[in-house]
């Protein structure tokens, strides 16, 4: 392996040097970290630069950038994808528990709370935990995570002073053992409505 990336343009394989003279620099144990960083940078930015530029030009013809700036990424996804009716029974059937069981009062409160939400807030809660407000065609049984199929998970973590946390790569919600339904609703609502980044991993 050398400090270059190969890519395909209409069947023609081309090479891009990650650094000057990259075709001559072998990847070794000493420089592999630099190689990985350069390769990631290439594939996430430079490698798709032309495609992203063309996509954005087309998007801005339809929706001006000034209009898009009014929305955060969660609101934009809801606008572009719309609201999907969420089958809460399917959600509950395809949920796994850690340090909780379906009979724990906090789990009972969770499903009571989810059923009390309107479609928009159910989608926001789903987005908080999974990173998206959309489900696969197969529903919750086909939910994907960072390592392939990953069912929704409720885990008992922390104490009642903590806010719930989400792990979007694992579709997991860390749900502290709150002592009252009112406290449960307050903390969970605050977490998924107001959290931007620090409550998610």
Dihedral sign (CA 114, 118, 124, 126): positive
Residues 63 and 90 in one domain: no
Count Cα neighbours of 112 within 13 Å in the Cβ-side half-sphere.
12
Give DSSP secondary structure letters for 102-113. Answer: TTSHHHHHHHHH
CA atoms within 13 A on the CB side of 5: 19
Residue 201 lies in a domain: no
Neighbour tally for 1: CB within 10 Å: 10
8 Å CB contact between 122 and 88: yes
Helices and strands of the chain, counted as H and E runs: 8, 8
Contact by Cβ (8 Å): 172, 97:
no
Q: Which of 133, 153, 156, 169 is catalytic?
A: 169
* Whether residue 143 sits in one domain with residue 99: yes
Structure tokens at 25: 């620099």
Q: The pTM is what?
A: 0.63
- Active-site annotation holds for 133: no
Same domain, 56 and 155: no
- 107 and 147 housed in the same domain: yes
CATH number reported for the structural domain that contains residue 108 in this entry: 3.30.2410.10
Q: Clarify whether residues 29 and 51 are in a common domain.
A: yes
One domain for residues 116 and 88: yes
Q: Do 103 and 158 reside in the same domain of the chain?
A: yes
Give the three-state DSSP class for 76: helix
- 54 pLDDT higher than 70: yes
**Which residues lie closer than 8 Å to 127 by C-beta, 6 or more apart?**
74, 77, 133, 192
pLDDT classification of 77: cutoffs 50, 70, 90: confident
76 within some domain: no
Residues 36 and 100 in one domain: no
- Domain with 31, as residue range(s), is 4-70
Percent of the chain exceeding pLDDT 70 equals 95
Is-contact 157 175, C-beta < 8 A? yes
Rounded mean pLDDT, 91-115: 97
Per DSSP bridges, beta strands 4-9 and 12-17 are antiparallel
The token duo for 103 is 């009979």
Q: How confident is the model at residue 83 (pLDDT cuts 50, 70, 90)?
A: low
Interacting residues of 144 by C-beta distance below 8 A, sequence separation 6+: 136, 150
Task: Tell me what pLDDT residue 57 has.
Answer: 92
Point out the domain boundary residue: 70, 102, 122.
70
Does one domain contain both 63 and 92?
A: no
**Rounded Cα–Cα distance for residues 200 and 168 (Å):** 7
Pair 57, 13 in one domain: yes
Residues 104, 35, single domain; the answer is no
When mean pLDDT is compared across 47-51, 66-70, 184-188, 193-197, the lowest value belongs to 193-197
Q: What is the number of domains present in the chain?
A: 2
Strand 152-155 relative to strand 144-145: parallel, antiparallel, unpaired?
A: unpaired
């Amino acid at each position: 392996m050398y400090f270059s990336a190969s890519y395909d343009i209409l069947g023609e394989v081309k090479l891009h040097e990650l650094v000057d003279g990259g075709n001559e620099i072998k990847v070794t144990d000493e420089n592999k970290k630099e190689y990985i960083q350069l390769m990631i940078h290439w594939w996430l930015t430079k490698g798709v630069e032309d495609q992203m530029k063309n996509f954005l030009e087309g998007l801005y013809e339809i929706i001006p950038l000034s209009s898009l700036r009014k929305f955060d990424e969660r609101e934009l996804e809801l606008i572009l994808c719309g609201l999907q009716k969420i089958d809460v029974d399917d959600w509950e059937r395809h949920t796994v528990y850690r340090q909780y069981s379906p009979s724990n009062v906090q789990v009972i409160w969770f499903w009571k709370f989810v059923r009390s939400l309107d479609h928009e807030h159910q989608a926001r809660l789903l987005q908080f935990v999974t990173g998206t407000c959309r489900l696969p065609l197969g529903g919750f049984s086909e939910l994907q995570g960072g390592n392939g199929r990953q069912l929704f998970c409720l885990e008992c973590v922390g104490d009642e002073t903590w806010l719930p946390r989400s792990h979007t790569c694992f579709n997991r919600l860390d749900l502290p053992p709150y002592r009252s339904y009112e406290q449960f609703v307050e903390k969970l609502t605050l977490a998924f409505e107001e959290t931007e980044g620090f409550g998610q991993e």
